[in-house]
Amino acid sequence: MLILGVESSCDETACAVVEDGRRVLSSTVASQIELHARFGGVVPELASRAHIEAINTVMGEALDRAGVRREAIDAVAVTCEPGLIGSLLVGLMAAKTAAFVLDRPLVGVNHVYAHAYAAALDAEPIEYPAAALVCSGGHTALYRCGSPLDLELLGTTIDDAAGEAFDKVAHILKLGFPGGPVIDKVARSGNPLAVKFPRPLLSGQSLDFSFSGVKTAVLYHVNGVPGGRRNQDDRRPRGIETFSPQEVADVAASFQAAVVDVLRTKLRRAARLTAARTLVIGGGVAANSALRAAASELADKLHCTLRMPPMKYCVDNAAMIAGLGYHLLGAGRLADLDLEARATVKR
């Protein structure tokens, strides 16, 4: 069964052809990073326009690279939620057109659920039940998964997503955009114990997340507390320009350690709660080397199997959309050509 996947929910225009839900025949991604870099974040209107310019080429390339005839495609799967509404619409229209022209069924895929499935790509099937942590630029969520299609939300962020915090802290440290990869790199030469940033675990056994306080703590560490009194030993003029490269690396490493600590603790809670023998991580932040190491350690300790995708399937891609689309197709969950895009999905 060959599925053509289409993804355009944020700043990556992507198409892929995947066989039987796991074998990736092609995965083409056109990134808009350079377009948004000078703004320090994704500008929605620019993103939609760039998707329009890229989508036909990206789809053609994915089909060509897969080396299959157009008529061999069995269904078209497309991200329909959640995401930037203008961006989603571009992929949706392209996917509908392809489904109509090829006379094949269309399936609508939830982008966050697809991140929780990405570890199955080019790999063995995920063994369920599983506890899955999806952490990306727009989402941080924990799920109890009974199958690729059966996800129960256990907790989510009440403010910033984990990746968003990486991006904002990189902005404060003047390290560029996107923040995750650069903080990951710079943190390697820093001391994670140098600065004690808060670990907002929220109370008791909560599985929700909050990252905006950690980001603010970094801001105050760098620029001082607005209106706050300086302590006597603290004579350094404030601002990131006054920090040495080593100090910047220490702040990056300490921030990363705080975020990873929280993610690891919550994943452990979710694993205990669900009694799952499989842990899954996905989303752009799952590319983070410290999180990957922490998740491996946790899985060993809990005697669980850890499933984490390679970097290329952590960040946004269409192979995960086609992969999950295969299961939706198998379950008969087809969409009509009036399938709508939704920016947000209710809990």
Interacting residue ranges for ligand KG4, rule: CB under 6 A: 10, 136-138, 163, 166-167, 178-181, 184, 283-285, 287-288, 315-316
Q: Which residue is nearest to Zn ion (CB)?
A: 136
Residue 39 CA to residue 192 CA, distance in Å, equals 29
Q: Would you say 110 or 288 has its CB closer to ligand KG4?
A: 288
The answer to whether 145 and 116 have CB atoms below 8 angstroms apart is yes
69 contact partners, CB below 8 Å, separation of at least 6: none
- Longest pairwise C-alpha distance within the chain: 74
The least distance separating ligand KG4 from the CB of residue 211, rounded to whole angstroms, comes to: 11
Q: Would you say 10 or 195 has its CB closer to ligand KG4?
A: 10
The least distance separating ligand KG4 from the CB of residue 101, rounded to whole angstroms, comes to: 28
Retrieve residue 224's tokens.
């001082």
Query: What would the x/- binding string for Zn ion be over residues 90 to 129, using CB under 5 A?
Result: ----------------------------------------
Tokens 């060959």 -> residue = 2
User: What is the CB-side half-sphere exposure of residue 158 using CA atoms within 13 A?
Assistant: 9
Q: Does 8 bind Zn ion (CB under 5 A)?
A: no
Helices 212-223 + 245-274 axis angle, to 10: 160
**Per CB under 5 A, which region of 31-39, 146-154, 185-193, 311-319 contacts Zn ion?**
311-319
What residues are paired with 19 via a beta bridge? Answer: 2, 23
What is the DSSP secondary-structure string of 169-237?
HHHHTT--SSHHHHHHHHHTTS-TTSS-------STT---B--HHHHHHHHHHHH--TTPPPPTT--SP
Selected binder of Zn ion within 8, 26, 136, 140 (CB under 5 A): 136
Residue 4 CA to residue 95 CA, distance in Å, equals 9
Q: Would you say 137 or 200 has its CB closer to Zn ion?
A: 137
The answer to whether 33 and 137 have CB atoms below 8 angstroms apart is no
DSSP-derived letter for residue 157 is: B
The least distance separating ligand KG4 from the CB of residue 83, rounded to whole angstroms, comes to: 8
Q: Would you say 48 or 97 has its CB closer to ligand KG4?
A: 48
Report the candidate in 152, 110, 111, 107 with the shortest Cα–Cα distance to residue 132. Answer: 152
Q: Does 278 bind Zn ion (CB under 5 A)?
A: no
Q: Binding partner of residue 167 among ligand KG4, Zn ion, none, CB under 5 to 8 Å per kind?
A: ligand KG4
Q: Would you say 164 or 316 has its CB closer to Zn ion?
A: 316
Q: Binding partner of residue 113 among ligand KG4, Zn ion, none, CB under 5 to 8 Å per kind?
A: none
Q: Would you say 160 or 208 has its CB closer to ligand KG4?
A: 160
Q: Does 316 bind Zn ion (CB under 5 A)?
A: yes
Q: Binding partner of residue 178 among Zn ion, ligand KG4, none, CB under 5 to 8 Å per kind?
A: ligand KG4
Q: Would you say 2 or 109 has its CB closer to ligand KG4?
A: 109
Binding site for Zn ion (CB under 5 A): 136, 316
